[in-house]
A = this chain, B = another copy of it.
Amino acid sequence: MAKKPLILVTNDDGITSPGIRKLIEIMNSIGDVVVVAPDSPQSGMGHAITIDSTLTCDKITVDKGNQIEYKCSGTPADCVKLGVREVLGRKPDLCVSGINHGSNSSISVIYSGTMSAAIEAGIEGIPAIGFSLLDYSWDANFDNLEQSIKKIVKNVLDNGLPEGVVLNVNFPKTETDFKGIKICRQARGNWVESFDKRVNPLGKEYYWLSGKFELMDDGKDTDEWALAHNYVSVVPVQFDLTAHQFIQKLTNWNF
């Protein structure tokens, strides 16, 4: 690509989170960067969009980088929609989301605001990648991700992505070098919830959702295996949710 690529950056932890600041810094070395990101944390928002309320989108300056930035009152998917239609007025060459503070591997892809932004871009025909680090802390160390992110972005800009596919990239939490980048499938697993039941000062019961991830897959080709063995995991993700392999069987049902 002779001309610098136009890159839309977003996330779900909010526009001031260290993860997106690092991603913006890396993208500034690759292309022209426009940021449209939530003005507040939107973790766990899945593919939510704002249809019963209004949205705001305001230009702001957060640091001295070359990027142009907008904070948006909506969800990550809203940010991509607004970014493409209202801010850019055209499809960017790439959309990157993250770097998320916390894992989006295995079934977490379903609940992930980070990945919903990438998927929304994919739906709109934009090559897109979500990046997440397996460290929930605000002061997580993003420094050793730069080289891998650049490699993955370069591959996507050079090769493109097939229609209907975006990438879900997760980084293990480590102080040492990664063993490499591994193409994986989404591991089978789920979150086993527990609800912490409490009583508020007025005597009314309420709950906090918490839970424990349960891996139900011992394959060595999964994202969970790769991450446990210090590889960067890359899962190609699709948004045609049809279980094609089950259509024939269903057709034999007695309707």
Contacts and interface: CB of A to CB of B under 8 A. Distances in A.
A135 to B, nearest CB: 17
Question: What is the oligomeric copy number?
Answer: 2
B243 A82 contact: no
A161 to B, nearest CB: 8
Given A180-B255, A238-B242, 20 more contacts: A43-B52, A44-B50, A46-B46, A46-B77, A48-B111, A50-B209, A54-B198, A55-B209, A56-B205, A81-B195, A85-B194, A183-B253, A184-B247, A185-B242, A186-B242, A188-B240, A235-B242, A236-B243, A236-B246, A237-B241
A184 B238 CA distance: 18
Interface string A61-99: 000000000000000011001101110000000000000
A198 B52 CA distance: 15
Interface in A18-59: 41, 43-52, 54-57
Given A54-B208, A180-B255, A253-B159, A116 B46 contact: yes
A138 to B, nearest CB: 14
Contacts of A207: 54-57, 82, 86
Interface of A: 41, 43-52, 54-57, 77-78, 81-82, 84-86, 107, 109-111, 116, 119, 123-124, 151-152, 155, 159, 162, 164-165, 168, 180-181, 183-186, 188, 190, 193-195, 197-198, 204-209, 234-244, 246-247, 249-251, 253-255
The 5 A-B residue pairs whose C-beta atoms are closest, nearest first, are A46-B47, A46-B46, A236-B243, A238-B243, A181-B255
7 contacts: A47-B48, A54-B198, A81-B195, A151-B254, A155-B253, A236-B243, A238-B241
Contacts of A49: 44, 46, 111, 209
